[in-house]
Structure 1
């Protein structure tokens, strides 16, 4: 049974806020100097993001726990989510991501106040490429997002007769998504920081622009479209492949 519009609004906002709070939080803890886990390394960050997805999705199970416009679009293309509910999902995800970023800032407020390199703090909240080339950066995001969304579509709970993403009923449950995000981060995250989620990148980028961090760095608006367009394409391609292969 499909979730109600009210369930989507409430649980996608809360779940996505938790996702971004914990995901951005692990990056903040790794990067900010006055942190007990300073310089924990990229593996710590990837593990943190993976289980941030697990926490957010587990909380948001009543909405289907999309937490990602690319997932929502992939499910809609695959005829697993009603198109009429797609705008509700996406709006709720962006609102939740903005709230989560702001909560992360509040949690680390005093650390930001004493950070000796505030110009480098943008990466806590949004992604950026190691080598900037818009076309190839988009390609990287398309591939990473495709892997995530196609795995979701092929998981036991969603590949059957379910109307929504209900990984809590599958063999690995939401932990499976955590491990997929972890391996995407370790395998494909190096070039762009693997946004693989438009809401995860754009909403926190907007939040960062509004945060009163003294001496903060550029918002890199010229790159902001890449982690939106790439994941959208990747999610749609995953949905299309699932649709044409589901009976094979």
Structure 2
């Protein structure tokens, strides 16, 4: 196969759709476009969803998940990929098998468990499969605070305990960890990163009081994935992605009656 044909940076999102356009694969593809990488997708689930919540969801047949992976591997040169909504244990397992079968570059695992409106996006029984099969494949895992607590079984009463959560996630197999602090009640949103070499750092942004934050976690992970595909190191990728997400929240757009979407056009 002619590598020159695939010289443009290509990335992959493995997740669910959002018919409302604000999160999931829709947010990922918009983010990829703005980061100037070519986005592809493996659709694991389809949701009936808007800014008010998730009304219904449907998991794709497992053989269709396999066929999407195979189709991408046969034609594209994926440099980095991310996971999002995976639904249940069977689908987490199938995604993990495919990520072992094909080399799609560094894997960013966004362990999506609950939608902004409260709808569950991962069955409780699937958490063990994420821990046992997906985290060991993760170059980076990007949980928010509640997700990190579920995965580790630890409670974090303050930011001082974020390093404990991160070390625990490394012990589960993830090479690098980014604990997102958006659920904490501070005027500044502080995320904690622990890298595989033992170094760590914080990334911060002012908290904006707005309901228009639907898809924030997806967008952050997608922007990191894009930056990695462009050849940047992980710390630079995280810092760049954090700045981009901050802009998408600050430069708000008025869409929907509930938890509105980000402005992916943000400059």
TM-score with structure 2 length normalisation? 0.27
Name which structure has the greater RCO, CA cutoff 8 Å, separation 6+: 1
* Larger fraction in helix: 1
